[in-house]
Structures are given as structure tokens and as C-alpha cells.
Structure 1
């Protein structure tokens, strides 16, 4: 038993030394300003070995760090020989995502451990890479590669959570790329972000055309101010929460998430309880879902807030007649059954009597509406009010 334990201990010791050697190799190559092609091959080989050897949290974190930094090492290796095609390959959305995740992981780990082995390097890399990634994101957008552009803007947001406009751009581009599930997820993240609650939009005037431009971060604006191309900076609090909630509701409708859409409309109405357009949009959603009862109840509540809206009164009256076609069919089927016939006629009369005040109110508020006039006249005629019908 002791021999087995000893062998296991020797094996673990061997593996530990091996992975330390691999990490040393990576650290040595990483430190070079211009690594050779051979160095890059050794770098990749060391990473591959560490895929199975890295066991401790520290070793895993720094293995991921070097993985994320691989494109940077390759860029340094190519130097002036780099081509646009190589830049596109090395700065792909996937590589950027790996870079962002591994750098953030390293920053969090070093903060937790109270040490700064690569924190300063990462922040320096950010200052260099963020403008490059921004440029790549806008180029992907211009090329109508919306999904890739969305992913790139999202990675920018993960690099700097204060640049919430990048998260919004990612959501917008997901819609343009017709990736609606991702768009919902991104808009919901934007809805809950600190940026939407407390963020600022940074403005400055472009001296060339005297037009005010917005910037995704104070850093981006400062660059322009330092270059003297812009002046008169001003800040403005981020707004538009209701618009975001409306977009989420509409996207959930579009993806067939009825229950999710109901919740989204509830959130939207809670945010803007007196916005009649939003209240009407919510009511129309229920109408499309064939939930006529909820629709009518919502419209009645809206009328209390806006009793002068002729269209709302008309809608209530019109919906009250939704069973008319079926009743007429039943009446015609029972012409030879007096008792049943009278019951159906009485039901139809009662239905029109309930609708009449709504048509009258709608006509009173908007006498120019031909639809209201036609419906009111028909109602009067069906109820035998010929004198009133003749005046229309």
C-alpha cells in the first residue's frame, strides 16, 4: 500500500513539475516583444500540454490567460508583415471572446488573491485592443455581418461594463441578424444593467462640421478632446427604459412567447402607467391573442383615463357585437321554431342595446367617422329606432 502511495505521489510530483515547466515556457515567450515563429509553435505546444496538466485554480487561470493572449503574441510575431486577412483571423469574434473571458478571469483572480502579476499588462492590453475591437465591430456592421458584429460589441461591453452603449449595439444588431432569442437576452441584460440605471452618454462637438457627436465612453471622448478635433464636452444621463421594455415585449410576441410577452407588458405598464399608447398596445396584444374579455376590460380602464378617445368607445361597441354573425345564423336556422326564434332575437336586441351607448359616444366625440356613423345607424335600425337612424 505504501509503494502505491509513493508511486502516486511521484506521478503527481512529475506532473506538477511538467506543468510548471510549460508555464515557464509560456511566460518566457509572452515576455518577448517580438516572438519568433518557432516561439509561437512552442507557445501553442505548451498550451496544448497544459489542457490536461493544469489542475490547481492558479494554473488553470494562468493557462487561460496565456490562451487569451495567443492572438496578441501572433500579432507581435507578424509585426510589419501582417496582412488585413491575418488581422481578421486573429481578431475574430471567437478569439475576442476567449481573450475577454480569460482576461476578466485573471483580473478577478488577482484581485481576490491580492497580487498583480498581470493586472497592469491586461489593462495596458485593453487600452490598445479596445479601439481595435471597436473598429472591427463597426466594420462587421458595415459589411452586414450582424451576428458577428453583435458578438463583438458584446465582448466590448464585457471589457468595460460602463460602456453600456456597446451592449445596446449588440442587442440591436442581433435583431438585424434575426437572432431574436439572443436579442431578447441582450435587451434584458441591458434593461437590468447599471448603465441604464445610472449611466451617462458623453457628447462633444466635432470642430470640422460643428455637429455634436456621442461617444461610447468617457475614454473615447477624451481621446478626441486631446487630439483637439472636438470641443465643448457635455454629459447626459442615459434614458429610454420604456423603449427597451417595449422592444422586449414585441420580441417576445414575435417569438411566440405569450406568457413572457404578458409579463413584459406588465413591466412596461408599471413603468409608464399613464402612457395611453402603451396601454392601448397592451390591450391590442390581448385582442390578437383572442382574449376578448381581457381586451375589453383593459379598454374600459383606458377610457377612464381618456374618456374623449372616440376610437376606444367604438372598439368597445364593436367588440360587443362579436357574436352577431353567429346569432344571425342561428336565427335563420330557427325560423320555424317560434320560441327559440324569440329567444335568439331578444339576445341580439340586448347585445345591440349594450353596444349602442358606445357608438353614440364615439359619434358624439368624432362625428366625421364614417365607420362609426354606419355602425350607429345599423344599430338604431336593428333596434327599431327609425327616427334616430333617419337623422344620420
Structure 2
């Protein structure tokens, strides 16, 4: 253990040190039978990736870090660190407590980057596992538990997602407050910090730059919504209703929770309850464009297209420059083109079919023209949005608006 501690304490260990470190771990494993010996054996064992990272130095790339700090090793690190902290608190003797706290602060940004890289590689389950372990390392950083749940949902790991959401509910997490951002100079990526003071320390030390603050809205509605959706997916309808009902009792005027309950009843095809809840939300905030937009999304997801169009148009009425509503309404109306094209493709060449073809063609043209002002306004508002521009191009092409098509095409 003295040999392990000596190597562990080195700021710049060598490759030979690593070989000796691992050899001593192997020797310690069978003889570490007392509680303290087991605790410190596990502590030294999970510290191995940190020593390997120190050998690699600042040139370590994301793939090397993912290899060193994989979901399993990070989970083991969290377990061993917490066990060491608890043991030293119990015996009243600090050996590595201060070092662990320091290590957690320095390792967290690295581990978060590992999770982000896994997420970018579509390895959502693994990314969620990493962030959950980061939360285990620092339970004050509750945002990491929230994002772990989100990754679990994206990875279709609903059992884990549900357990994470229940834990968020238990700790009464809302996510409301201020998010403190700064850009990591080494990676070029933005990272979040628990407090302004913590962020400012990193900026002052020179490892981070471009600090900015962002207001975070409450995520309680989303959390309860996802709990309900997962329970519905599992066929636990009564539990889903109970979860949302409980949330509503605590926050009766929270529109996000009203919408969550409305969404649940929409999925259950209980239109009477859905309509009642929608009207309740609108009564609370009749000029909330985001509320109407969310109602549009909810209705569109449930294939209630007329309802969705009505809500998107109301959002645009409140704010004519509401880009998301303009784009969503355009894409919603373009869904009407699919059945028209299908019907045209099924027609033959008889006189009757030719007449029917012309009628359908006119309907298509009418639909495209109805979409045009919304799409053009959206592109005017966000000229760099590729999705909006490509959709507008397809409409120009369908309407044979050659000049406008060429002009827009030249900007892509």
C-alpha cells in the first residue's frame, strides 16, 4: 500500500510506474481482508485510469479518454470514492478525503465530455450511465441526474429512465434557476458549473473562457410527463394517471403539468378530459404563444391535424414572428400532400381518371400556396435554417416558381 501511495502521489508518473502500480495491486488483492484494506484497495484500483491519463498528459484525445473512462470504470470509480469518503468519516481520519473532493472537481468536466462524446456517437444508454455515475460522485449536481434520464429515454432504456425520474421526483428537482456556462479552452466545448463562483474560478485559472449565464425554466412538467409516458408504454395506465394527478395537487396552476395531464388523456383518446384540461391551461394564460405551440405539437403527435393547425395559427396570431410555429405549421400542412400524391399515382389514363387527376393537381397547388407565406416568413426570420430553406425549395419547385427557386438554391 505504501508503494501504491507513492506512485499515486506522483504528479507525472511514468509508464514503468504504471506497470509497478498494477503489479502491486495484484499483490494486494488477495491479502486485503480487513475493511480498511479493502476500501483502500478499491480506491487505488479505480484510480488506475487517472494515472494512465496523467501519463498521456494534455494530449489525450476523446477516444483515449473513453477507453480509460468507460461507463463501467466510471461507475466503479463513483462507488469506490463514496465508500472511501464514508469510511474515513466513520473512523475520523482523513487520508484521501480532500484528495477525492479535488479529484471529483477536476474529473467531472472530463467525464461529462465522455458522456457527450458517447451521446454524439448515438450510444445513449452508455452516456446515461456515465452521467448517473457523475451524479453519484457529486449529488449536489442534480442536473446530471436529469440528463442521465434524458439519455436513458433516447437509448430506449425505459426502466433506468423511470428510476432516474423517480429519484428526481424524490429530491424535488425542478431544474429552475441559472445555468452557468463557460467554454473549455482545450476541447472548445461549453460546460456547465454548479455555481457562478465555481465557474469563475475555472475562468480565472485560464482553463475556461466566454462565461455566460442562462435562465433555466422548471423541468417538473417534463419529468412527470415522461414518467407518465413510460408508465403508459408499460401498460400501467392507472399509475400514470396517479403520477400526474399527484404532481397537479402540488402545483395546481403549473401549465406544464396541466399539459402533461392533457397529453396523457389525449394518448388515451379521452378527448373530453383532454379538452377540459386544455381549456384550463388557456384560462390560466390566454396569450401564451408557447402554450399554443406546445398544444400544436401535442395534437400533431396524436395525428389531430386540424387541432394542431388551429393551435399553431393562434401562436402565430399572438406572435407573427414565431419561427418554430411558422415552420411546424408549414410542415403540418405539407402532410396533406402525401395522400394527394398517392391518389394521383393510383389513377389510370381514362377520361374520368384524367379529370380526377386535374382536380387533385389543383388541390395540391392550393395546399402549396397556403403553405408559402408561412415558409417564406420562416426563412426570412432565420435565413440560415437549412430545414426551412429546403422545405421552401420543394414548394417553389412544386409551384414551378423557377426564379425564386434558383435564387434560394444559390444561397444553399
Q: Does 1:135 align with 2:113?
A: yes
One of 9, 12, 35 as aligned partner of 1:57: 35
Structure 1 residues 270 and 146 mapped into 2: Cα distance closer, same or farther (>3 Å)?
same
Q: Aligned-pair distance for 1:196?
A: 3.3
- The 5 A counterparts of 1:46-85 are 46-79=24-57, 85=63
> Tell me, what secondary structure is at the counterpart of 2:47?
helix
One of 189, 192, 200 as aligned partner of 1:215: 192
Structure 1's unaligned 5+ residue stretches are: 1-22, 207-212, 289-294, 309-392
Partner deviation per Cα, 1:100-137 (whole Å, 9 max, x = no partner): 22112111211222221111221222232122112222
Structure 1 residues 304 and 196 mapped into 2: Cα distance closer, same or farther (>3 Å)?
closer
- The 5 A counterparts of 1:147-158 are 147-158=125-136
Structure 2's unaligned 5+ residue stretches are: 184-189, 284-412
Aligned Cα root-mean-square deviation (Å): 3.6
Structure 1 residues 194 and 59 mapped into 2: Cα distance closer, same or farther (>3 Å)?
farther
Q: Does 1:253 align with 2:232?
A: yes
Q: Aligned-pair distance for 1:142?
A: 1.9
TM-score by length of 2: 0.56
Equivalent residue number for residue 202 of structure 1: 179
Equivalent residue number for residue 250 of structure 2: 271
Structure 1 residues 301 and 139 mapped into 2: Cα distance closer, same or farther (>3 Å)?
closer
Q: Distance in 2 between matches of 1:139 and 1:304?
A: 43
Structure 1 residues 188 and 50 mapped into 2: Cα distance closer, same or farther (>3 Å)?
same
Q: Does 1:191 align with 2:169?
A: yes
One of 21, 28, 43 as aligned partner of 2:6: 28
Q: Aligned-pair distance for 1:93?
A: 1.9
Structure 1 residues 57 and 279 mapped into 2: Cα distance closer, same or farther (>3 Å)?
same
Number of equivalences: 270
Q: Is 2:182–2:192's contact at 8 Å kept on the other side of the alignment?
A: no
One of 100, 122, 126 as aligned partner of 1:122: 100
Partner deviation per Cα, 1:162-195 (whole Å, 9 max, x = no partner): 2222111111111111111111111111222255
> Tell me, what secondary structure is at the counterpart of 1:201?
strand
Equivalent residue number for residue 356 of structure 1: none
Q: Does 1:163 align with 2:146?
A: no
Q: Is 2:182–2:203's contact at 8 Å kept on the other side of the alignment?
A: no
> Tell me, what secondary structure is at the counterpart of 2:174?
helix
Q: Aligned-pair distance for 1:281?
A: 4.0
Equivalent residue number for residue 22 of structure 2: 44
Question: Structure 1 residues 274-283 or 246-255, which shifts more?
Answer: 274-283
Q: Is 1:224–1:230's contact at 8 Å kept on the other side of the alignment?
A: no
> Tell me, what secondary structure is at the counterpart of 1:115?
coil
Structure 1 residues 30 and 91 mapped into 2: Cα distance closer, same or farther (>3 Å)?
same
Structure 1 residues 108 and 175 mapped into 2: Cα distance closer, same or farther (>3 Å)?
same
Q: Distance in 2 between matches of 1:231 and 1:303?
A: 39
Q: Aligned-pair distance for 1:83?
A: 6.0
Equivalent residue number for residue 351 of structure 1: none
